[in-house]
Amino acid sequence: MSQVQTQGPTAATRRIDALAAVMRYSTLGALVALLIFNVLFTRHFLAMQTLDVNLTQVAAIVIVGVGMTLVIATGGIDLSVGSLMAISGAIAPIIFLNKVFNIGEIHLAVAVAMIVAVLLAGAFGWFNGWLITRFRIQPIIATLVLFIAGRGIAQVMTNGNLQPFKLDAFQWIGLGRLFAITDVYRGLPIQVAIMIVLVVVAAWVLKRSLFGRQILAIGGNERAARLSGVPVAQVKRWVYCISGLCAGVAGLVVIAINSSSDANQVGLGMELDAIAAVAVGGTLLSGGRATITGTLIGALIIQLVRYTMLANGVPDDVAKLAKAALIVAAVWLQGQGRA
Partner 1 sequence: MTASATSPSVSPLLSMRSVSKAFGGIPALSEASLEVAPGEVQALIGQNGAGKSTMIKILTGYIGRDKGEILFDGAPFEARSPQDAQNNGISTIYQEINLVPFRSVTENICLGRESRRYGLLDWQAMHEQARKLLARFKIDLDVRKPLLRFNTATQQMVAIARAIGFKAKLVIMDEPTSSLDEREVAVLFDVIRQLKAEGVSVVFVSHKLDELYAVCDRVTIMRDGRTVKTADMASIGKLELVASMLGRDIAQVAKSATAFGDRRGRIGDVVLTANSLAAGHKVHDVSFSVRRGEIAGFAGLLGAGRTETARLVFGADPLQSGALSLDGAAIHPREPIEAIKAGIGFSSEDRKLEGIVPEMSVAENLTLALMPQLARAGIVDDAKQRAIVEKFIQRLGVKCSGPDQKIRELSGGNQQKVLLARWLAMNPKLLILDEPTRGIDVGAKAEIQSLIKELADQGLAVLMISSELEEVLEGSDRVFVLREGRSVAEFSHAEATESAVMTAMAHGDSDLVAEGSAS
Q: Which residues bind partner 1 (CB under 8 A)?
A: 1, 3-10, 13, 208-211, 213-214, 216-217, 220-221, 223-231, 284, 288-289
- What are 163's strand-pairing partners? 261
Question: Which of 146, 83, 133, 147 shows the shortest CA–CA distance to 237?
Answer: 133
CA distance 297 to 204: 16
Closer to partner 1 at the Cβ: 50 or 336?
A: 336
DSSP class per residue in 277-299: HHHHHT--TTSS---HHHHHHHH
Q: How many Cβ atoms from other residues are within 10 Å of residue 280's Cβ? A: 27
CB of 279 to partner 1, least distance (A): 17
Q: How is residue 181 annotated by DSSP?
A: B
Closer to partner 1 at the Cβ: 98 or 286?
A: 286
Closer to partner 1 at the Cβ: 32 or 210?
A: 210
Closer to partner 1 at the Cβ: 66 or 146?
A: 66
Residues 6+ apart with CB under 8 A from 309: 318, 319, 322
Phi and psi based region of residue 44 (left: phi greater than 0; alpha: psi -120 to 50; beta: remaining): left
Closer to partner 1 at the Cβ: 80 or 334?
A: 334
The answer to whether residues 69 and 283 touch, using CB atoms and an 8 Å cutoff, is yes
CB of 328 to partner 1, least distance (A): 23
Q: How many Cβ atoms from other residues are within 10 Å of residue 218's Cβ? A: 26
Closer to partner 1 at the Cβ: 186 or 226?
A: 226
CB of 12 to partner 1, least distance (A): 9
CB of 334 to partner 1, least distance (A): 13
Residues 251, 257, 262, 264: is their CA dihedral positive or negative?
negative
CA distance 171 to 186: 16
CA distance 339 to 204: 29
Closer to partner 1 at the Cβ: 15 or 177?
A: 15
Long-range CB contacts for residues 143-146, cutoff 8 Å, separation at least 24: 143/77, 143/78, 143/79, 143/80, 143/240, 144/79, 144/80, 145/80, 146/79, 146/80, 146/83, 146/84
Closer to partner 1 at the Cβ: 1 or 100?
A: 1
CB of 193 to partner 1, least distance (A): 24
CA distance 281 to 140: 21
CB of 337 to partner 1, least distance (A): 11
CB of 228 to partner 1, least distance (A): 4
CB of 20 to partner 1, least distance (A): 10
CB of 74 to partner 1, least distance (A): 12
Residues 6+ apart with CB under 8 A from 71: 77, 78, 139, 239, 240, 243
Closer to partner 1 at the Cβ: 21 or 318?
A: 21
